[in-house]
Structure 1
Amino acid sequence: MILTKSVSYYGKQVSVSELSIYSTKKVEVMCPDCNEIRTVAYSRIKVNGHCKCQQCVLKSYRKNFQPGTKVGRLTVLKASERIGQSICKCDCGTVKEVLNTSLQKETTLSCGCLRRDNARNNIANLARHQTRENHPNWKGGVTYLRECAMQTKVYKDWRKQVFERDEFTCKKCNQKGYDLNAHHIMGYAEYPKLRLDVENGITLCKECHVEFHKKFGRKTNKNHFQTFVNN
């Protein structure tokens, strides 16, 4: 309970009951469980909703969980030697200490295996329902194979040679030095033998590259590129 009856406020004595719930004025309180007297900010009492000391609050959490209590996958075995914690056994067999506050709020439901299992299930469902031939945009794996090829050293060397030959300059707008793409003049999918031919590569900035494929699609050739550059 609150022992202080009034506090000084701008040179006047004001009743504690008239203070704002956000007031940081210090008041004396007594813990109803252990009778400890301490000084705390008035706002803390209002936020917590009680005058109990921290030790008694933690002890009360401990009392809430008797051996055998089940929370998620955790079963309480006994109280821990640490105040406010319980020793629990997970359904997977792991024994660990868990904060009673976490058990009470059900923010901890396992030793960690539940989160791992959920992650595995989500990945499995994603792989089963949204990848490769099960995805609505699946086109036979061309994009996947191309992305793999683009990570190889030989492909990166080809792209570097194209950039160096063109002096790192877009052949459409003359932008130089950043956001550059190595474009295949003769389409990548339709002309596999020309994929790593430096003469079949040309430097375009990202914006021009996107604009080109929006206009001509993916199945392109020299005529498409000449038309694009000349316009």
Structure 2
Amino acid sequence: MGGRPKPTWEEVVKLFEKRDYILLETEYVNSKVKMQYICRKHEEEGIQSIGYSNIKKGIGCKYCGREVTAEKQKLDFHVVKEAFEKDGYTLLENNYIKNNVPMSYSCPHHPEKSLKITYADRKNGKGCPYCANVVKYTIEEVKEIFGQSGYILLEKEYKNNRTHMQYICPHHPDKKLEMTLKSYVVKGSRCPYCSGVGRASFEQVKSAFNNSKFVLLEDEYKSLNSKMKCYCINHPEIIQFKTYHSIRKGHGCTYCKGLAKHRYEDVKAKFEDKNYTLISKEYKHNQSKLKYRCNIHSDKVRTISYHSLLAGHGCSDCAFDNSRMDFANVKSLFESKNYTLVSTAKDYKNCYSVLLYICKKHPEEIREITYDRVRDNHGCFECYMERNRGENHPKWNHDKTMEERIVDRSYPEYHRWRTDVFIRDSRTCRCCGSTKNIVAHHKDGYGWCRERRTDIENGVTLCSECHTDFHNIYGNLNNTEQQYNEWITRKRALN
């Protein structure tokens, strides 16, 4: 068999040495089997493996490849320097390595700080952490910040600005206080007792409940958001749980406001008011599905949520019966359109039932239509065409002269002639019997025989293919009925 000869072991070793690799194998199998090696430039990265065919293609140490790619993509130092200087920063480096290597710089507002940032972060809009107030403070700096308000910080370690730290207020040294650095710096929070929002006493809590018309059943107060047992003086039989926080916000009895969970008895009574029988034995909430039976249409069990029931929804059959138009009104609508309704009340079931009618203006045909379409102003096609033909058509161009319309064949008499020819021939080509791409052909040409331009006996339905065939033989000018008769006789003889 032909092909490339298998390289010798010496050739393989020589190629690895040429790439500055240390080959760890003792034999060569084939070009696809991977062989272990160490790159002398990146010995610290350990052992790598590669096939002889790949190393011949120029593939090798992945770390060397990354350095080559980084060098190709490396930005000019002046571009990096401009990115720092546009916001007033001074870059303290003399060369640029790559975008994820931190570089030293100085901020004009904090020149005493030693700052570092990568070009990738700088390009994404990041800058001096002290200007952005996102720097991590030391415990000494945090103590100094708290000390500006006279507070004594009790912590020995600072973790982050969301960690609660204990402190002492000089005006309330007996109170246990906690606050995050974020609350102090960003929100401007201070000692709650100095601000008048400190922990309330049990007497204050009890008084607040009494002012909201509640009788408190607890003996102690724990916290602002702890639920406390109570009852409303207007609904003493119902035990409720309220927080001091909600009472302070003005929240009151949900039963007085009609916002409480409905009782099963009230839900059942509401179903009975709608002439329904509630089958479900338990009520969870106003979105849970409840089984019921309509007393009028009791043949099936239905489901509905209490929320939907209150919104006016219910038995679909009852809704259909209520929305069904009375037959007398249907008949009245047909008469207002100048139609005589042939169908009887038995034929009318809903607005989609097909009804028979006669147009008084065109009584030669019994037509079909639904009440829904009559209501949407559909009806007799001939009446529609009369209302929208000629000058009544929305696209009628009033600037065109009659002579121009005759040349363009865009006048009502021509359109009517064309339609009548199609109807007479059942929209079928008189030559081949096709019903696709039909045209109305003038036997005596439209250009020279003016008196027969709209004569239906001068027209015949042809498909576009047969029509083109005729004019390819006899041309497009001065065509005659004799030419058509010769052509159609010949075509039928061939078929």
Please report the TM-score for the alignment, with normalisation by the length of structure 2: 0.20
* TM-score computed with the length of structure 1 as normaliser: 0.41
Which has the bigger relative contact order, CA under 8 A and spacing at least 6?
1
Greater fraction of residues in helix: 1
